[in-house]
Structure 1
């Protein structure tokens, strides 16, 4: 173990891995439910009106998630404790998830969905801020790499709970809840994070040491632009592939999506470790945003299925790595440690906002310009994110700051 680690300058590997497992649990909590289990329930109840009811549910759920993430992040800042909020949110969201089995109307589902989103974000908001409390800048690249496990775990859980004959529709809800508990509880019981000097919530960061406001805005906008692109692809990918090749099946699309998420994990780990070692936290983000723009451009010009798949793989890998690393490096630019939970809630709007924007963007572009027009617009978004990140400083860790100071003196 490195001397720095023994001295407490770095966080323990145990906490990092258990935290990554808990983050995967957060993804498992909503990915299978929102993408598979909820639409199936709405269709079973609403019949031909399922699209409209699902749109209402998605809209109100996104609003509840956005507001509650900010509120519970702020609440955990005020109480100066994260773990009790995480545990309470885990319990409440698990019980409410199981309660969907008792819903008998689409309206009841929407009410339950809003309550479930409130409880889920009671867990997710403090969990996100907890990493900022205990993971120093020198390990944020590694943390970002570990966070790449989360979307892969969410997709894998969706496959698991829908295996034919494994569980009934109601039992699937409790199965998801059980998986989330198994993932989140270990960090609460066994994590025991070290206290790292300079990261404590009680510490007030001097204004002169705070990150410039422009850096925070650039990071926020860059994530929003990439998230809009990913949200559009997530919702309409199948329709695009079928437009290119009518023989393309939903199973093959799902397999491609899953392979991309799995492939992003080792690449994100490598990129994160490289960023830590070379004190260049934003270089991999810039490269991934550029890769996403290139992938979307290839997709827009794809003459056939092979080129389309190649472009989508490039985009999918770039976007997945970007989002994982961005989640960790965001902690670096937040200006006030004592408002970390609240500020992360504001960053979370880049996750929930695209689900409200994306349908209108798609409806405005696809009928007039086809998917080519949509992908070109999304490529411009990703390119704009690249340009925003090019203006971020390459070196921002304490080691890099000391190095810059020495070079200035010499």
Structure 2
């Protein structure tokens, strides 16, 4: 009886190795996009750094959006998640090392576009693999474990930007080494238990097709829109956190930003794990998402009102912890609402648009708002988006 009970759950070993690999995926882009790339853009563009960073983010987001759907779809067709993950890991790490060799901004954009293609060759199948292997009764735990991803990604940023730690070339080499060290173990030693019910083609019932498809898609659409709205806020701070803190305190350096960013995400990990375990015990996956959206709105309002560094950091800490919990748990709960397991990789690629489309929206939004209203006006708008996200999730039905 005990063995049968254990067999209904994915092994702890695989869950931990998968969480480490997901953290490796975040390490591949978090320190680079939050600190190392803005610093490189500032070196090349000078006073035009914000505008050029917007261009880099725009073209990189297009590449990321298309490649995530494409490689997710290819991993569905081939059924070989590991092979795609391994190839993407090697190629994206190799391209990361080319960034410091580029001496003009158009060349930098080209390298970033190709790097995004290779990065998503790794990330798309990796995300879909969790849906193949983790049953719904462990989705809360999965969400909690996924909170390690941005936290360790931010920690990598703190390490590589520590004053005197390394030159620009060596920083990127360290990032690449961390990615390989995190992702390789699950590829080599991961042996997940199989759950055939997770991967059976969707059954066809007697309900008229349009009604059936709409009923299946409605929760997914709500989840998609809610994450999109939250990710617009996340994307704005992801790209411009460095510049915002510098506008309040010019002496606030790149390592200071990386430390605050990393501290917030590390603190969010135990809270995410507790919330995830609570979700699994009580089968209430939507409630922590609604609370997370509400607290994110409060944090953004605090940031809008901040006139000094202490209040600015306090507002960001609240927003950062609440939004990190929201996004980690949302990533796992998304796997519940996808309607067709046989197209999981492709559909998760479409869900990944909520991560990349904000990077297309955010540059124009920022360039339109900040010159006229400052960062405070931008944060008030982002507050409204977080409130709408919470309202969308309030109406989601409780899973059976």
In the superposition, the TM-score normalised over structure 1's length comes to 0.88
5+ unaligned residues in a row in structure 2: which ranges? none
> Quick one: which of 294, 307, 319 aligns to 1:315?
319
1:212 partner SS: helix
Distance 2:377 2:53 in 1: 27
1:55 maps to which residue? 54
2:377 maps to which residue? 373
User: Measured at CA, do residues 190 and 353 of structure 1 come closer, stay the same or move farther in structure 2, by a change above 3 Å?
Assistant: same
CA deviation vs aligned residue, 1:45-70 (integer Å, no higher than 9, x gap) = 45555555443322211111110000
Q: CA deviation at 1:173?
A: 2.2
2:108 maps to which residue? 109
Q: CA deviation at 1:336?
A: 0.2
5+ unaligned residues in a row in structure 1: which ranges? 402-410
- For the Cα contact (< 8 Å) 1:4–1:10, is it kept in 2? no
Distance 1:391 1:287 in 2: 13
2:226 maps to which residue? 222
1:334 maps to which residue? 338
> Quick one: which of 201, 204, 212 aligns to 1:203?
201
Query: How do residues 1-400 of structure 1 correspond to structure 2 at under 5 angstroms?
Result: 3-6=3-6, 8-46=7-45, 50-200=49-199, 202-206=200-204, 212-237=216-241, 240-241=244-245, 252-302=256-306, 306-394=310-398, 396=399
Distance 1:38 1:299 in 2: 24
**Which sits farther off after the overlay, 210-219 or 235-244?**
235-244
Q: CA deviation at 1:379?
A: 1.3
Q: CA deviation at 1:239?
A: 5.1
Distance 2:73 2:269 in 1: 31
User: Measured at CA, do residues 360 and 171 of structure 1 come closer, stay the same or move farther in structure 2, by a change above 3 Å?
Assistant: same
Q: CA deviation at 1:250?
A: 5.7
User: Measured at CA, do residues 316 and 4 of structure 1 come closer, stay the same or move farther in structure 2, by a change above 3 Å?
Assistant: farther
**Which sits farther off after the overlay, 51-60 or 210-219?**
51-60
User: Measured at CA, do residues 250 and 33 of structure 1 come closer, stay the same or move farther in structure 2, by a change above 3 Å?
Assistant: closer
Distance 2:316 2:173 in 1: 34
Distance 2:107 2:302 in 1: 44
1:198 partner SS: helix
Equivalent pairs counted in the alignment come to: 394
Distance 1:224 1:40 in 2: 27
CA deviation vs aligned residue, 1:234-265 (integer Å, no higher than 9, x gap) = 34445555666677666554433222111100
Distance 1:100 1:308 in 2: 32
Give me the CA root mean square deviation.
2.5
Distance 1:239 1:161 in 2: 19
In the superposition, the TM-score normalised over structure 2's length comes to 0.90
